[in-house]
Amino acid sequence: EGTNNLVFGTAHSVPLSDQKVVFNEKTRQAMGWPDSIRTMYDYRNRTPAIYNRMFQLCIISLCSDVEFFFKSLFDLKPIPRPKDRGFFQRFDQVISALTAHGLNISALTTEIAALAQAFHIRHMCIHNFGIVDEAFAAKSIRPVMVGDFYMIDQAEYRPMFDGYVALLRHVDQWLAKT
């Protein structure tokens, strides 16, 4: 939670902080910037979706936390799994292995769907710098255009984080019973 909260806080605070950094006229002219660039926010916002990338990093961080949790859980419990290194990145396969080992996730349908979507977004953000490709578009739960930068905000991200918290609590209860 600590790492994820840091990234989440940064996604919110940096755009606000950048709006407060006002360039003086001499600096603006020395840099050759047009009149439209008055603040650090104006400067950084020239790159499409630059601030949105920080929300993508929130998802990448969240999925890393989930992967580490899964690895720790599989080390704790004798749950059969493939030996390949990428197993914990394949959310659906990990969930299948856990359910085959007795974890009932039927009460977490919405949360599991949100986490599965987070892993799809994470894959696209890492391997395609957040630009929608055909594979991601086919799995997206909302309409997207191939070639567009995937825009995400707090409203879409928050259910993913909340889904992880719900999964952690659910697994805690399961572990207490086994």
What integer pLDDT is reported at residue 176 of this predicted model?
92
- Taking the CA atoms of the chain, what radius of gyration do you get in angstroms? 20
d(Cα 66, Cα 168) in Å, to the nearest integer? 9
What integer pLDDT is reported at residue 135 of this predicted model?
92
d(Cα 25, Cα 149) in Å, to the nearest integer? 33
Q: What is the DSSP letter of 24?
A: P
d(Cα 55, Cα 91) in Å, to the nearest integer? 20
Nearest to 129 by CA among 114, 148, 113: 148
What integer pLDDT is reported at residue 64 of this predicted model?
93
CA angle 8, 11, 15 (to 5 degrees): 155
Measured in residues, the chain has a length of: 178
d(Cα 130, Cα 107) in Å, to the nearest integer? 31
Crossing angle for the helix pair 91-100 and 109-128, to the nearest 10 degrees:
150
- Tens-digit pLDDT string for the chain (178 aa): 567 778 888 888 999 999 999 999 999 999 999 999 999 999 999 887 888 899 999 999 999 999 999 999 999 988 888 888 889 999 999 999 999 999 999 999 999 999 999 999 999 999 999 999 999 999 888 899 999 999 988 899 999 999 999 999 999 999 998 8
What integer pLDDT is reported at residue 28 of this predicted model?
93
Q: Residue 111 is which amino acid?
A: E
What integer pLDDT is reported at residue 2 of this predicted model?
61
Sequential DSSP letters for 92-160: HHHHHHHHHTT---GGGHHHHHHHHHHHHHHHHHHHHTTB--HHHHHH-SS---TTSB----HHHHHHH
What integer pLDDT is reported at residue 85 of this predicted model?
83
d(Cα 30, Cα 51) in Å, to the nearest integer? 25
